[in-house]
Structure 1
Amino acid sequence: MSLKSMLEAAARGGTVEVTDGWTQGRAIYGGLTGALLLASIKGRLRDAAGDGSGSPHPLRSFTVSFIGPATTGAVEVHAEILRVGKNVTQCQATLRQDGALVATALAAFGKHRESTIVVPPRHPMPELPEPGTIEPFPYIEKMTPEFYRFLALRQVGGALPFSGAETGDLSGWAQLRETPEEFHEEHLLVLADAWPPATIQMLSGFAPASSLTWTLELVAEIGPDTIPPEAVFAYEATTDASRDGYAHTHAMLWGPDGALTAISRQTITVFG
């Protein structure tokens, strides 16, 4: 199934057949997991609205907890609406495989409100070479994550994973290789989790690492009216702290207009 077909199946709820090529190690790529959970939630909201409109408010925050590894093949996705308030709608979704819970997500949608507080983003978009001047990471069988065949990541700052680097920061450009008909919040989720955990470049040799929790906070509205389907996003990640086998990072994504689009925060397990 294509990404479009998987997202459409998730929006209907029930069984989704995750196609080969979307793995990261032994598990389904986390960005795809998040996108399937969000698609399920938005599908549930559309069903509840009865008119196909879905949530009346933009997505503000999306948090995923990766409970266990899911492999390609059939997964079961289910969403429920927790509360519909005047200003905020909150939902939950779960992903199961072979009866076991493998991921859960919470989504918060909130309407625009008048406020006297306006704080411009403190971190400007980094100065990066033009995307077309940088070759994206290639997909190399058994060497790079399989999902690299679907995403074009062009690294500028930082080092390669497991290279013994002194920094836990990285930057670059991210884009879908296959341009969707329209760009939605689900596509941003696919892109936002695409980079290797920033911290693992500090390891001097291979060691397992994986996301434990991931939260994407949307600063700007994402949709066909604001983001072109061929959009390239600037990305910059910082390792805030790491100890006792857990690393804590935050990353920022800037859209084609140079405006801050989203903030990504992760807790990462590091076995090395």
Structure 2
Amino acid sequence: MTLYTDLIAAVAATESGFSAFVTDDWKQGRTTYGGLSAALCVEAAQRTFPEAPPLRSAQFAFVGPASGELAIQVRPLRQGKSTLFVAVDLVGEQGVATHGVLTFGAARVSTLSYSEVPAPDVVPPEACESFFPESRQGAPHFSAQFEVRKAGGTRPLAGGDPEYLLWIRHRDPAARSLSALIALADMPPPPAMALFTQFAPISTMTWAMDVVGLPAEEDDGWRLLRTRAETVGEGYSTQEMHLWDRNGHPLVLARQNVAVFA
């Protein structure tokens, strides 16, 4: 298994940007796992602009398949006094595979402070069963890179409300960077799959996220993820995704639009 930190360490600078090689154990079907594609875009942007302020928001369009040797191209869109907008393209043999627009923003003094994203009350991950079957039948290759425990909700093909509530973390204990957090936040299969009567293809088309916090460096890596399908129909699904640290502090708030072939 290719550890996340080893894959990221192998990302190399080129004349036009960066190159990365994605091994089969990070694939979802014939393409690179979407969370890793997004993470590679974030990693390349941070290396290009090492003095950039914190990442606040990102939008990704998963345009086409990406596997094997990939090129990453980064260009600034606009830089102001406190914000930086960056475009990133992840390019494979068939052209652009992922297009990202990243927004970095410096903290500003403000009289306002408000947060109302409460984490669900669940038992700790040590008391939860595995989300995937022991045989891993039907689980995508990349999912073996993560520990996943079922804290509530349902599973693919299990029926019920299309919502997952999961404890998740990298199997690589050194995967603690911002890009590693992005890679983790897209981990579960779309909750619309709970409504499937048999396995069928799915493909995330767009992913929009806001980064509202970062975990403490000394924590154990467990993150609580709730993702819920809001609409499913005409071959598409919309879903919301919330990610908290073990102490209930919100980290990532996101939305996806997913193509459903069922």
Aligned counterpart for 2:97 among listed residues 88, 96, 102: 102
After TM superposition, the structure 1 = structure 2 runs for residues 193-232 of structure 1, keeping only pairs within 5 Å, are 193-221=186-214, 226-228=216-218, 230-232=220-222
The 8 Å contact of residues 155 and 164 in structure 2, kept in 1 or not, is answered as no
Aligned counterpart for 2:123 among listed residues 129, 151, 155: 129
Identity %: 28
After TM superposition, the structure 1 = structure 2 runs for residues 1-272 of structure 1, keeping only pairs within 5 Å, are 2-10=3-11, 12=13, 13-46=17-50, 54-55=51-52, 57-71=53-67, 73-98=68-93, 100-121=95-116, 123-136=117-130, 137=132, 140=135, 143-163=138-158, 165-180=159-174, 183-221=176-214, 226-228=216-218, 230-272=220-262
The 8 Å contact of residues 253 and 260 in structure 1, kept in 2 or not, is answered as yes
The 8 Å contact of residues 79 and 93 in structure 1, kept in 2 or not, is answered as yes
CA RMSD between the two structures: 1.9
In structure 2, give the amino acid aligned to 1:268: V
The 8 Å contact of residues 64 and 97 in structure 2, kept in 1 or not, is answered as yes
Change (3 A) 1:156 1:244: same
The 8 Å contact of residues 139 and 145 in structure 1, kept in 2 or not, is answered as no
Q: Which has the higher strand share?
A: 2
Deviation at 1:5, TM superposition (A): 3.2
Deviations 1:45-103 (A, max 9, x none): 13xxxxxxx31x111011110001112x2111111122211011111111111151111
Change (3 A) 1:263 1:206: same
The 8 Å contact of residues 138 and 148 in structure 1, kept in 2 or not, is answered as no
TM-score (norm 2): 0.91
Change (3 A) 1:11 1:221: farther
Change (3 A) 1:220 1:145: same
| Structure 1, unaligned runs of 5 or more | 47-53
The 8 Å contact of residues 91 and 106 in structure 1, kept in 2 or not, is answered as yes
TM-score (norm 1): 0.87
In structure 1, give the amino acid aligned to 2:184: L
The 8 Å contact of residues 11 and 21 in structure 2, kept in 1 or not, is answered as no
Number of positions where the alignment pairs a residue of Structure 1 with one of Structure 2: 257
